[in-house]
A and B are shown apart, each in its own frame.
Chain A
Amino acid sequence: MITGELVDRVRTRHPDLVVARDEATVVVDRSELLDALRELRDDPELALDFLSSITATDWPGRDPRFWVSYELSSIEHRHRLRVKVGLSEEDPHAPTVTGLFPTADWYERETYDFYGIVFDGHPDLRRILLPDGWEGYPLRKTEELGGVDTRFKGAFMPPVDRRTT
């Protein structure tokens, strides 16, 4: 995690910073996301130039409903920082960060696949893990776990005890 002065350094620009369990999390507004990530990446004392992962969490009934989190780390300084963006249910759009971190390509596709969060400006925002014709976003809390009685492209799987073949 980032410590001491560096925390203050980030906090002066992004006041919404929480340090808990040896991890620093900074919450930024969607409109500031790209600038914030660019600053954190290019600041030589922070040098958060490696994006480990992007993912989201879903909190139905709250606003913002979705939280997209970016796990940044620094190869040089060996510290980490998490950047989070809240997105409302009606407008689950975030700017793509593929221009800053090419690795975000697949992570954003995966987040889109699982949660239906649209990353504006992404070069190729398609489903990545699920089949192309899939309906719904399976990792949303409002989606069922599925398993039996799953419908996909006309195939119907009855529960185990009602299978005939």
Chain B
Amino acid sequence: MSLTPSTFGNDALTGGFTDPVFDGQSVFKLMMDAMARPGTLQTISTEVAPPAPLGIAAGAIGLTLCDHDTPVWLSTSLGRSSLPEWLSFHTGAPIIQERLEAAFAFIEAGMALSSFNQFGIGTQEYPDRSTTIILEIESLEGGKDLALSGPGINGVSMIAPVGLPDSFLRIWNDNRALFPRGADLVLTAGRQFLCLPRTTKIIATEM
């Protein structure tokens, strides 16, 4: 399909990085620190305006990491918004239907999720070829405490997200059982995000 300016709404053409070089670097730095220190809350201060319902942090991450070489999967509402055009225009990332092939998957808040298996989990020889899932939730604070441990975490650290899928801990443990394969997760809520690489152990501390 050839995309010409007339197929894009105005939404799609605006709201990207004003300075892609330095904006990309500063958002990446936050991501790198977040993945290296799982559970650390990061806040995007860069001005970006992805089309609703995609959050600002998710949009900034998309602009930073997606391009021609990264197939992207979008959940239903995201796929129906002007997000596909926005991502196409700003990053050139191909939007695909097949979750297995996605380098990045953007999932709207509230979508039912039963497992990460439908996404790319890599192979035993190339566990890096897996999807990074960017999951929007209601908030990263104020919910029930979860204890995190593992690489990147000094002892134990706590997060308290609100709006995770019901069977999240089971989904996460299933994902961990696949190690070294597995998907990696970014939780976003508006401007904020945190990363959960596949190595992180998560335990509920409150019932």
Q: Do A and B come from one complex?
A: no
Which residues of B approach A to under 8 Å, CB–CB? none
